[in-house]
Amino acid sequence: MKKELRLLKGNEAIAEAAIRAGADAYFGYPITPQSEVLEYLMMEKPEERTGMVVLQAESELGAINMVFGAAGAGRRVITSSSSPGISLFQEGISYIASAELPCVLVNVVRGGPGLGTIQPSQADYFQATKGGGHGDYHLLVLAPASVQEMADFVPLGFDLAFKYRNPVMILTDGLIGQMMEKVELFEQIPRATEFDQDWVATGKTPDRERNIITSLDLQAVQMEKRNLRLQEKYRKMQAEVRFEEIACEDAEYLIIAYGSSARVCQKTIQQARDKGIKAGLLRPVTLYPFPTKAIQVLTEKVKGILSVEMNAGQMVEDVRLAVNGKIPVEHYGRFGGMVHSPNEVLEALEEKIVKP
């Protein structure tokens, strides 16, 4: 079969992949640096291509609740935003997680806090991996490191969202969102025509009880049961852990980085090895579930770990929990919209991990 290769921005790849993944609807609101998702979708007329609905909402509050509605009907729904907009999503995401609705959420992260900046960042790691809104819940979080993965993680996200009836977040950043790369596009997946899952709110037929999509249990004992069910689901979701190991076989020092930062660190690994420092890179592909076991295996082999993130030190906390004090773990990263260079990471590796 002939490969379909395209040169696309990361944001455009998300949009094209949404159409091809057989999405039924996209609801979104413009915000830099992810507005190309909505622009591309509007330009492509997905209604004509597949029948997919695309609507520009009045706000992120509107968008995420339109997602709630369409997801409640069992449809494949996707939305995207960037950090300040994702903060506005949080109320809706908490409801979606509690009501156990599947959907794909894309966060093209920019520097914060507050209105912050429009340049890339990884400062929303805590928000994405620890829940984000109120209550005990988790998203399944995918972290693409290339435009190719931006495209591929959309259908993967839908599959996982429906497998666990849980919101899936693609946590990327303004760098990958705006970067153009060659993408091999997957073939069009037909939109589903049957929505006969037993939980969907599509109109009560005589053969079943009415379906109620709600996040409310007024009785605490019922709410505890719902929470226990969610926690059991999160335990099962641990099986979905994905990661990539680069030059880890003989590594003495380990860098852990995801997304854009992992791309930068790949160069650092080469530079370190040129200097005789045996460095390896572990790239978490899922941030929740986190590759705790993979880190624990490598902890037995390496002398120290540097967690390299475009934030002030967030993922490093999960790395430290995995390592449990057995070897030194440090953080390095530029933030507030700044991206570290391979040289800066190498210096940090030498100063914080190799030298002491």
Partner 1 sequence: MSIHVKSMDVKDIIKKENLVYKKSPLMTDNVLSYCPGCGHGTVHNIIAEVIEELGIQSQTIAVAPVGCSVLAYEFVDIDWLQAAHGRAPAVATGLKRVMPDKYIFTYQGDGDLAAIGTGETIHACNRGEHITIIFINNGIYGMTGGQMAPTTLAGMVSSTSPYGRDVSTMGNPMKITELVAQLPGTYYVTRQAVHKPSNVRKTKRAIRKAFENQTLKKGVSLVEVVSNCNSGWKMSPVKSNKWMEENMFSFYPLGDIKVDGELVK
Give 62 or 342: the residue with its C-beta nearer to partner 1: 62
* Residue 129: CB minimum distance to partner 1, A: 23
State the number of binding residues for partner 1 (CB under 8 A).
Answer: 40
> Which amino acid, one-letter code, is at 20?
R
* Residue 132: CB minimum distance to partner 1, A: 15
Give 3 or 208: the residue with its C-beta nearer to partner 1: 208
Among 37, 145, 154, 213, binds partner 1 (CB under 8 A): 213
Q: Is 84 exposed, middle or buried (0-12, 13-18, 19+ CB in 10 A)?
A: middle
How far apart (Å, rounded) are the C-alpha atoms in residues 82 and 31?
A: 6
> Which amino acid, one-letter code, is at 178?
Q
DSSP letters spanning 105-137: EEEEEB--STT--SSB--TTHHHHHS-SSSSS-
Considering Cα of 224, then 100, then 10, then 53, what sign does the dihedral take? negative
Determine contact, residues 120/174, Cβ cutoff 8 Å. yes
Give 92 or 120: the residue with its C-beta nearer to partner 1: 92
* Residue 274: CB minimum distance to partner 1, A: 53
* Residue 200: CB minimum distance to partner 1, A: 8
> Which amino acid, one-letter code, is at 200?
V
Give 23 or 183: the residue with its C-beta nearer to partner 1: 23
343: contact with partner 1 by CB under 8 A: no
218: contact with partner 1 by CB under 8 A: yes
- Residues 6-25, interacting with partner 1 (CB under 8 A): 24-25
What residue has token string 């099962």?
A: 236
Determine contact, residues 254/298, Cβ cutoff 8 Å. yes
Closest CA to 14 of 183, 226, 245, 239: 183
- Residues 42-101, interacting with partner 1 (CB under 8 A): 53, 55, 57-59, 61-63, 65-73, 75, 77, 91-92, 95, 99
Closest CA to 257 of 332, 203, 180, 321: 332
* Residue 230: CB minimum distance to partner 1, A: 17
- Residues 162-201, interacting with partner 1 (CB under 8 A): 201
Q: How many CA atoms lie within 13 A of 91 on its CB side?
A: 9
Determine contact, residues 237/140, Cβ cutoff 8 Å. yes
Annotate each residue in 98-127 with x if it binds partner 1 (CB under 8 A) or - if it does not, as one string.
-x----------------------------
Give 202 or 343: the residue with its C-beta nearer to partner 1: 202
Point out which residues bind partner 1 (CB under 8 A).
24-25, 27, 53, 55, 57-59, 61-63, 65-73, 75, 77, 91-92, 95, 99, 201-206, 210-216, 218
